[in-house]
Structure 1
């Protein structure tokens, strides 16, 4: 596919990095020369310096031959304009990043598809949706769903006393009699381990599973410390992410939202009628105590400052909060999440890039997504009509060393599979692979 990405920020860069694995013809456009040089040094893609709303620049990028135009600059107006112009000049499909959620909530009022914008993407809305999924259990640190939950990738921290501690993967079979989950990866001391049967799970490991719906529930039972149901939430920051999360969660949870801007508090109080809006700074311990921090189950920090979010979560944890979620801008923080004590770190730009990558279809790769902190990707392949893998037990297929077949979606059901499983035509196969093995595994499923 010929793909043009307008915007070389974190969303554009991460997206280009994901798609580069699939050997697409990618052109990245941006007005920042230094940023383009950085990208060019990291990735083998074409770059063009200029404004993506320029006819000349788009034609230079061969817009007339473009299969997908992805507009993810920080400016909503630039993204919408680029998509409209690009569609007029011949782009087959366009995607625009937006910040105004009215475009999502009131689609019927303004049908942007008639103007050339095929799809809209909001990092804030996706981050709020990610937060909603993470609230399923206190133990859950990561989540990624395939086909609306037919299979899920989830992550948990293994604490001392947990059922998994000191077991090898082979020994965990007794905890999984229904074979409804697969242990796909382990993060230990910032190192990614794609495990085999002899790999032992240790305390403080971050373990990733690919599981069927019942398997997800089974994984949570391995935790020695049961968190119980989550009822009371505190959100720090009246950002777009904070507002969107509050709206999505208000029907199920009791929410308090803390915002330091007094004028903004009054506006939020009018907009969020079912939510208690508090004026103050969450770094104020006395304020937290006055607002009943000891009764809060989840603390979610989504201000525009990464350090404020992390420190506030640590403070909340010290006050006894069961689960903390911090939004960060710097992706380097993800490698520190286990050490610094925050349960889950999220980055709305990476979430958006992973989501957009699902729009790309080339060969048998249906989707590709990164996992925060892991030197690995999760890929979804489809078994084609002429595949040589059909009706062969997977134990007899030579997969690369650093890959694991996590599961298969067949029709309307997800399966966690073992060595005697046989692929069928149209099966969608979930694979976790270290970055170095992606090219080789892609060839096997091609």
Structure 2
């Protein structure tokens, strides 16, 4: 595919990196020559210095013969404008990053597709949705639902008490024959190596392990990973940013008891008007005395989403010292992910990474209906729909020419989730959840074409 990305910030750079690994034809546009220079040196892509809303720049990027234009600059107006121009100049599809979530809520009424914008992506909305999902499964540090929860992916750090620590995948399966979950990825403690587990792979203490399970398997998985399910009801949010507001709004609708701490007085007053079911506190959340006065120790979860990553990390550590069950910090720097578990924070959220991963699913060749990247792992979790002519149809999983760096986590058939083992035969219209490393993506996609 010929893809143009406008904006060489974290979203644009991460997208370009993901897609260049798959040998896509990428052109990255930005006005900042220094950012482009870094991208050009580290990635196999074409860079173009210029204003992406300039028609001459778009023509230079060969927009008329491009399959996709992605606008992910810091300016919502710029992204909308360049997508409109690109569509008029012949680009097949367009995606715009936006900050005003009203556009998404009213996209059918406004008819953005008729205007020339095929998809709208809000990093802030994605971050707030991710936080709410993490609170629902509080002991896990990463989670994702497929088709309304027919299959659920969860990630957790294995404790010494987990019954299958020290055992291979095959041994664990023989000891627990009624398992209704499938291990799909492991990252060893203190390393950046991602393992797609096979039968001979051993679970070790400290592993960051990912599983696909059925809804009824979540409780079982809690027990076997040495985790305890924690009921979350009282939540304190530090920061009245767009992510903070949207998170508080969602949680209030879900009947959580929410306190939100905002330093800026004018913003705090605005939040109080817009969030009648939340308690809004005007104060500096870095002040431990203030947080203790607001009964920090009685909170079940602490979510730090200010615009300063260091403040978010430090305040979460402070909350963790008060035995808060769940801590979540918003960070801008992807490099912080590898620090989260070692320093004691449950989960880090990067809204730009979430946006890049969401955009990625629009680029896949196969019938991909959902996609997520596993936090801090170079692995992707994809959901394919088996087409009539797909190579996977009518074959047992063990007989498929599946790359070793990929595995099937589960299948959804007629709305029901199935943990599919080697003897399972895939049928037409099955939704198949696959976890794979970047080098296996193209081969897996061909199997589902």
Task: Give the TM-score of the pair, scaled to structure 2.
Answer: 0.92
Report the more deviating stretch, 147-156 or 434-443. 434-443
Within 5 Å, give how 1:120-269 maps onto structure 2.
120-173=120-173, 177-188=177-188, 189-190=190-191, 191-251=193-253, 252-269=255-272
Residue 94 to residue 441, structure 1, CA distance change in 2 (3 Å):
closer
| Residue 420 of structure 1: aligned partner | 423
Q: Distance in 2 between matches of 1:181 and 1:362?
A: 28
Match of 1:359, SS state, is: coil
Does residue 308 of the first structure (1) align with residue 296 of the second (2)? no
Q: Which runs of 5+ in 1 are unaligned?
A: none
TM-superposition CA deviations, 1:59-82 (whole Å, max 9, x none): 122222233221110011101111
* RMSD over aligned Cα atoms: 2.2
Aligned residue in 2 for 1:81: 81
Contact 1:227 1:322 in 2 (8 A): no
Matched with 2:97 is 97
Contact 2:366 2:445 in 1 (8 A): no
* Contact 2:22 2:439 (C-alpha < 8 Å) held by counterparts: no
Structure 1 window deviating more from structure 2 (58-67 vs 126-135): it is 58-67
Give the 3-state SS of the residue equivalent to 1:249 in structure 2: helix
5-14 or 41-50, larger mean C-alpha shift:
41-50
Matched, 1:289 2:300: no
Please name the residue that 2:273 is paired with.
270
The match for 2:36 is 36
C-alpha displacement of 1:224? 4.1
User: Which digits, 9 at most, give the CA deviation of each residue in 1:95-131, with x for residues without a partner?
Assistant: 2111122323444664433432232211001100000
Q: In the alignment, does 2:409 pair up with 1:406?
A: yes
User: Against the structure 1 CA distance between its residues 68 and 320, is the aligned structure 2 distance closer, same or farther, given a 3 Å change threshold?
Assistant: same
Q: How many angstroms does 1:310 deviate by?
A: 0.7
Gaps of 5+ in 2: none
Instruction: Give matches, 1:355-434, under 5 Å.
Output: 355-364=358-367, 368-434=371-437
Q: C-alpha separation between the residues in 2 aligned to 1:195 and 1:431?
A: 13
Q: Give, in angstroms, the shift of residue 174 of structure 1.
A: 5.7
Contact persistence 1:361–1:367 (CA under 8 A):
no
Change over 3 Å in CA distance of 1:165–1:264 after alignment to 2: same
Distance change (3 Å), C-alpha of 1:322 and 1:370:
same
What secondary structure, in the 3-state scheme, does the structure 1 residue paired with 2:232 have? coil
Cross-structure match for 1:69: 69
Secondary structure at the counterpart of residue 148 of structure 2: coil
Which region of structure 1 is more displaced relative to structure 2, 230-239 or 355-364? 355-364
Tell me, what secondary structure is at the counterpart of 1:173?
Answer: helix
Range with greater deviation from structure 2 (81-90 or 40-49): 40-49
Matched with 2:5 is: 5
SS at match of 1:148: helix
Q: Secondary structure at the match of 1:160?
A: coil
Q: 1:443 to 1:110 in 2, by over 3 A?
A: closer
Query: 2:151 and 2:20 mapped to 1: Cα distance?
Result: 26
Q: Secondary structure at the match of 1:74?
A: coil
- The ranges of structure 1 where at least 4 consecutive aligned residues each deviate by more than 6 angstroms after the TM superposition are none
Kept in 2, the 8 Å contact 1:257–1:276? The answer is: yes
CA distance in 2, matches of 1:64, 1:226: 55
Give the Cα separation in 2 of the matches to 1:46 and 1:11. Answer: 17
| 8 Å Cα contact 1:364-1:383 kept in structure 2 | yes
Higher alpha-carbon deviation: 88-97 or 291-300: 88-97
Q: Distance in 1 between matches of 2:21 and 2:388?
A: 24
Alignment of 1:336-347 (within 5 A): 336-347=339-350
Q: For the residues of structure 1 that align with 2:168 and 2:109, how far apart are their CA atoms?
A: 56
CA contact 1:360–1:367 (8 Å) conserved in 2: no
Instruction: Report the Cα offset of residue 269 of structure 1.
Output: 1.1
Paired with 2:303 and 2:310, the residues of 1 have a C-alpha distance of: 14
Measured after TM superposition, the shift of residue 177 of structure 1 is 4.2
